Amino acid sequence: MRTAQPEEEAVISRLSLLDRFLPVWILVAMGIGLLLGRFVPAVPDILDAIQIDGTSLPIALGLLLMMYPVLAKVNYQDMGRVTGDRTMLWLSLLLNWVLGPLLMFVLAWTFLADQPAFRTGLIVIGLARCIAMVLIWNDLACGDREAGALLVAINSVFQILAYALLGAFYLKILPGWLGLDTQDVEFSMWAITKAVLIFLGIPLVAGYLTRRIGIKRKGKQWYQDKFEPFISPFALYGLLFTIIVMFALQGEAITGDPVSVVRIAVPLLLYFIIMWSVSFAVGAKAGLGYRKTTTLAFTAAGNNFELAIAVAIGVWGITSGEALAGVVGPLIEVPALVALVYVSLWLRRRYFKESSPQ
């Protein structure tokens, strides 16, 4: 049996019970949602009825609750430390905004050319870059925690500015250039923009203001030692709540058509493995060292499926195939990235000499 390294033990010891067994809680939430959707028919109808302007309020609450704590913990004043590391910054932008969406586009058209809704759902996931849970995987793998949080913030801002434009490019323009049939893919640029502004813009502004005001009034020590530990669990509460609601709404589709779930899962699994492996190799080749290489790999491989789900629901509807693809996302991402944490730690012991204190 493998003996845990001191750095691993230090990281794991700092995780709460909720964080430490996150994959288990997610699987339990999925199971509860599936059971509710399958055996309590009134639940999906009730959840689907609570809407404002086509937006499901229960899901909106879960998504906002999920993203706010992460963005309130980012040290925005120290963003120059990462932006000053030009190698890491440019590699992150290249991997996240060029390779990632393009790779998902290729996999979606390769495996789901005959399923436009699922194909579109995967492309939407590919455009939604890392946030929230990626920081947990980065922590467990002994990556650079501050760099990870700052790359999440940079990606968040970039998504607000570019997500809708990239959506139009990968859903309409690029397929048109390649002669691919996209007549069955209908979407509104404004609907995508609105979903991004609501579900990413609001928690980003709220997180920034919370940190700025909190530190100004109470001090940095109080904010880090008292406030951050208080709000941290709410990100996972929001995640688990959202998963229960989504799986309740999609329970019949998931249990009634497992073949479709498998078809969605295969390209997703390949995506996580390829993106992480390429990113880790690129970071190591660039001489970033273990901690930054690991952070680069996980922030490039992880996706903001929360935002992808919000966009899919806002544009195509809560029971659409696009939304189903978004729901399958965390089902594949969680075990895949947990496995890659152990791969990362093995590579550190095998190929990297420097220590990785946290």
Beta bridge partners of 56: 51
Q: What is the mean pLDDT of residues 152-159?
A: 82
Q: What is the DSSP code (8-state) at residue 5? A: P
Topology classification of domain 6-350: Na+/H+ antiporter like fold (1.20.1530)
The pLDDT assigned to 38 comes to: 76
The pLDDT assigned to 125 comes to: 93
Closest by CA position to 87, among listed 290, 300, 292: 292
Residue 20: alpha-carbon gap to chain centroid: 18
The pLDDT assigned to 48 comes to: 66
Closest by CA position to 132, among listed 34, 231, 230, 49: 231
Q: What are phi and psi of 203, to 5 degrees?
A: -65, -30
Answer yes or no: is pLDDT of 118 > 90. yes
Q: Which two tokens stand for residue 276?
A: 């992480």
Closest by CA position to 272, among listed 201, 203, 344: 344
Q: 210-218: long-range contacts at Cβ-Cβ below 8 A with a sequence spacing of 24 or more?
A: 210/68, 210/72, 211/72, 211/73, 211/74, 211/75, 211/76, 212/76
The pLDDT assigned to 152 comes to: 81
The pLDDT assigned to 294 comes to: 95
The pLDDT assigned to 298 comes to: 95
Closest by CA position to 300, among listed 160, 133, 151, 174: 151
- pTM metric for this prediction: 0.83
Q: What are phi and psi of 211, to 5 degrees?
A: -65, -45
The pLDDT assigned to 243 comes to: 79
Distance between CA 9 and CA 4 in Å, rounded? Answer: 6
Rounded mean pLDDT of the chain? Answer: 82
Distances (CA, A) of 194 to 67, 157, 176, 202, 311: 16, 15, 25, 11, 9
Amino acid, single-letter form, for residue 38: R
Q: What is the mean pLDDT of residues 112-126?
A: 93
The pLDDT assigned to 18 comes to: 66
The pLDDT assigned to 291 comes to: 92
Residue 237: alpha-carbon gap to chain centroid: 15
Q: Which residues of 283-303 are buried (b: 16+ CB within 10 A; e: fewer)?
A: bbeeebebbbbbbbbbbbbbb
15 falls in which pLDDT band (50, 70, 90)?
Answer: low
Distance between CA 280 and CA 347 in Å, rounded? Answer: 10
Residues 338-353 have pLDDT tens digits of: 889 889 999 998 888 7
Beta bridge partners of 303: 129
The pLDDT assigned to 144 comes to: 87
193 falls in which pLDDT band (50, 70, 90)?
Answer: confident
Q: What is the mean pLDDT of residues 240-262?
A: 79
98 falls in which pLDDT band (50, 70, 90)?
Answer: very high
| Lowest-pLDDT choice from 38-42, 230-234, 279-283, 300-304 | 38-42
Closest by CA position to 35, among listed 240, 228, 349, 247: 247
Task: Enumerate the domain spans of the chain.
Answer: 6-350
Bigger pLDDT: 177 vs 316: 177
99 falls in which pLDDT band (50, 70, 90)?
Answer: very high
41 C-beta neighbours (distance < 10 Å), count = 12
Q: What is the mean pLDDT of residues 188-216?
A: 86
Residues 326-336 have pLDDT tens digits of: 878 877 887 88
**To which residue do tokens 């490019």 refer?**
169
